[in-house]
Chain A
Amino acid sequence: MYRYVARRCLQALLALLVLSAVVFGLVRLTGDPTLLMLPEDASAEDIARLRRALGLDRPLPVQYWIFLRNALQGDFGRSIRGQVPVRDLIAERFPYSLRLAAASFAITLLLAVPLGVLAAVYKGSWLDRLAQVVAVLGQSLPMFWVGILLIQVFAVQLRLLPSGGTGSVAHYVLPAFTLGWWLVAGIMRLLRSSMLEVLDSEFVKLARLKGLSEARVIWKHALRNALIPVVTFGGIYLAVLITAAILVETVFAWPGLGRLVYEAIVFRDFPVVQAVVLLTAALVIVSSLVVDILYAYLDPRIRYG
């Protein structure tokens, strides 16, 4: 188990390194930033001076090394727009994104797991059919549209919940639900089908033959096995969740990373874009690492592969 985890951690570090190189390279493909920073009639000497000041005259590997060293220390340069360190911008926005993600993730666990299991156990019942409708809508309705619709109904017409911004628990409800619905739908459908398969297996039959209660058969023997494919896909869902947050944060004026990167793109604030892209990609890598470790915990066949 420890060897497996150590191996996966090493792979994740490697992936991060490759990723940083890609981000570094991509940014340099977008053109010379000095042309944007100086007036159009700037002399060649001025440009050269600025390039020297920014370190752009040095060879690429050296530049990459400096970028990597600074990034490791949390230094992503300064925002072009606000002239504040990118680190401060991220430090300010990141907690909001994290809280929103946690809230929608909590909704997902609380709804998707019981719903998925019960839909499989009571296959064909009204509960199952209701769950299917919720799942199909959740996966097919565009998230920004769901967000706008929810604002229209709950904020504008019923005046029950705030339409955007942060402050109280009530502010979390609409964005977390918008983000969570899609996740609930995906995980529930996956869990339902894998539960159905597992419930049909011989070891579930044997568990019943032992005289175990139905609750124990379902929540211990069946669920633990049914979760394995769900966790695999969970990693992918998590990655999509991070990108989807950009839409939801924009719709609900949520001051998170998603909105930060949206604003940065609009204003061509390259250092910010670069840092946020790097950070979200790192998040995806870390979450897939967590998924893999969880996966090994759930399935001993991988632990002792």
Chain B
Amino acid sequence: MAEAVLEVEDLHTYFFNRRGVLKAVDGVSFTLYRGETLGLVGESGCGKSMTALSIVRLVPRPAARIVRGQVRLRGEDLLAKSEREMRQVRGRRIAMILQDPQASLNPVFTIGNQLVEAFAVQRRWPRRRLWTLAAEALRHVKVPEAARRLYDFPHQLSGGMKQRVVGAIALAGAPEVLIADEPTTALDVTIQLQFLRLLKELQAETQMAMLFITHDFGIVARLCDRVAVMYAGRIVEQGPVRAVFRQPAHPYTQALMASVPRLDVKVDTLATIEGQPPALDALPEGCRFAPRCPYVERRCQQAYPPMVPLQADHAAACWRLEG
């Protein structure tokens, strides 16, 4: 699986406002391989979504700007592309599923209209053929009575069905990379599972690489091959799901694991992490987790720790691992 599709290197995306600079993404690096799923986990506001939006270059302008770094899609630098060239990438080579299916579909156009549009940017086919293609795409994501659903408006579908439509739109371009930004948080648990299973099936068919953004460790365990843990704009630990779950190396990952409730152990209170993540416009000098870390040392407060390789593909950014 050594075929790298998407490489993100030292990515920095900052928000600029009157009060100062908000470092939403501050030096993120990872590689996504063909056919694999990488889970990107972290608390709300740690920069997960901003990382995703930076990859497709749709950060909210003019407040946010990609300041530094590289995003390479099969070796091509996406940050160097013009807006016109980027449009050829979006939807066709990198697709994205947004968090809220309810809000992702335009309420005033039919499902068919919105799906056909996704196909029409790639091929100048007659309307009828595109319409057939759209019906097929809906069938593919297991929407019952697909041909009839095309004439429906979003408000006439259930949340789960809407998410499938959004999935069909994302897959319309047969993308090499699919970014899913917490695609199931707005759905109930059973519908969630169905949708995740569907995504997995589709991935097996097309061998697309998936970047799965979530804060749900259950989903990571079920769905992902590798996981990257993000904290305050940086990736603090990265590795195969099994290794990270069994032997979390970074104190933040350890604390996260401890806070996940388990069914096989009876507990009276849930473990929590003391304190709050630092404000992104007032980050501490050294390690961002230092103020909350039980093992904090002097050097933690002076400089940010390097990514320390532990074993095959597993690495964490913590001074203690340096020895």
> Of A206, A212, A213, which contacts B166 at CB under 8 A?
A206
Number of chain B residues whose Cβ lies closer than 8 Å to a Cβ of chain A: 34
Q: Tell me how far the C-beta of A215 lies from the nearest C-beta in chain B, rounded to whole angstroms.
A: 11
**Stretch from B94-102, B131-139, B223-231 at the A interface:** B94-102
Q: Of B89, B98, B103, B153, which is within 8 A of A301 by CB?
A: B153
Cβ contacts A196-222/B at 8 Å (1 or 0 each): 000001110111111111100000010
Q: Does B292 contact A (CB under 8 A)?
A: no
In the assembled complex, which residues on chain A have CB atoms less than 8 Å from the CB atom of B83? 214
- Find chain A residues with CB under 8 A from B173 CB: 211
B81-115 residues with Cβ-Cβ distance < 8 A to A are: 83, 87-92, 95-96, 98-100, 103-110
Are A203 and B95 within 8 A (Cβ)?
no
Known: A202-B100, A205-B98. A213 touches B108 (CB 8 A): no
Contact among A201, A209, A221, A298 for B58, CB-based, below 8 A? A209
Instruction: Kindly state whether residue B287 has any CB partner on chain A within 8 Å.
Output: no
| Bound CA–CA A205/B88 (angstroms) | 16
Tell whether, in the assembled complex, residue A224 and residue B108 are in contact, meaning their CB atoms are under 8 Å apart: yes
Q: How many residues of A contact B (CB 8 A)?
A: 22
Nearest residue in A to B92 (C-beta to C-beta)? Answer: A211
The reply to whether the CB of A39 lies closer than 8 angstroms to some CB of chain B is: no
Q: Tell me which residues from 27 to 60 in chain B have a Cβ below 8 Å from any Cβ of chain A.
A: 56, 58
The residue that A203 contacts in the complex, of B58, B90, B103, B118, with Cβ under 8 A, is B103
Contact across chains for B106 and A211 when beta carbons are under 8 A apart: no
For A299, list chain B residues within 8 Å (CB): 107-108
Task: Report Cα–Cα, A304/B117, bound state, in Å.
Answer: 23
B96–A209 CB distance below 8 A? yes
B118/A210 in contact, CB under 8 A:
yes
Which residue of B106, B122, B153, B166 is within 8 Å of A207 (Cβ)? B106
A228 to B118 CA separation, bound complex (whole angstroms): 24
- Indicate which residue in B56, B95, B108, B172 contacts A300 across the interface (CB closer than 8 Å): B108
Q: CB < 8 Å: which of A209, A214, A228, A304 contacts B156?
A: A304
Q: Residue A225 at the B interface, CB < 8 A? A: yes
- Given A203-B107, A299-B107, the answer on whether A210 and B56 have CB atoms closer than 8 Å is no
Which of B87, B105, B121, B122 interacts with A206 by CB under 8 Å? B105
> Is A209 touching B105 in the complex (CB atoms < 8 A)?
no
> Which residues in B have their C-beta under 8 angstroms from that of A213?
87
Residues in B with CB closer than 8 Å to A225 are 106-108
Give the docked Cα–Cα distance between A206 and B105 (Å). Answer: 8
Report the minimum CB–CB distance from B184 to chain A (whole Å).
15
Interchain CB contact (< 8 A) of B121 among A202, A203, A211, A221: A211
CB-defined interface of B169-183 with A at 8 Å, one 1/0 digit per residue? 110110000000000
Asked if A300 contacts B107 (CB within 8 A), the reply is yes
Give me 12 A-to-B residue pairs in the complex whose CB atoms sit less than 8 angstroms apart, sorted by A's number. A202-B103, A206-B104, A209-B90, A209-B91, A209-B98, A210-B91, A210-B169, A212-B91, A224-B109, A300-B108, A301-B155, A304-B156
Using a CB–CB cutoff of 8 Å, the interface residues on chain B facing chain A are: 56, 58, 83, 87-92, 95-96, 98-100, 103-110, 117-118, 121-122, 153, 155-156, 166, 169-170, 172-173
Please name the 8 residue pairs, one residue from A and one from B, whose CB atoms are nearest each other, closest first.
A211-B91, A202-B103, A211-B90, A300-B153, A203-B106, A210-B91, A206-B104, A211-B121
New A-B pairs, 7, CB < 8 Å, besides A207-B106, A298-B108? A203-B103, A205-B104, A211-B122, A212-B87, A224-B106, A299-B108, A304-B153
Residues of chain A whose beta carbon lies under 8 Å from any beta carbon of chain B: 201-203, 205-214, 221, 224-225, 228, 298-301, 304
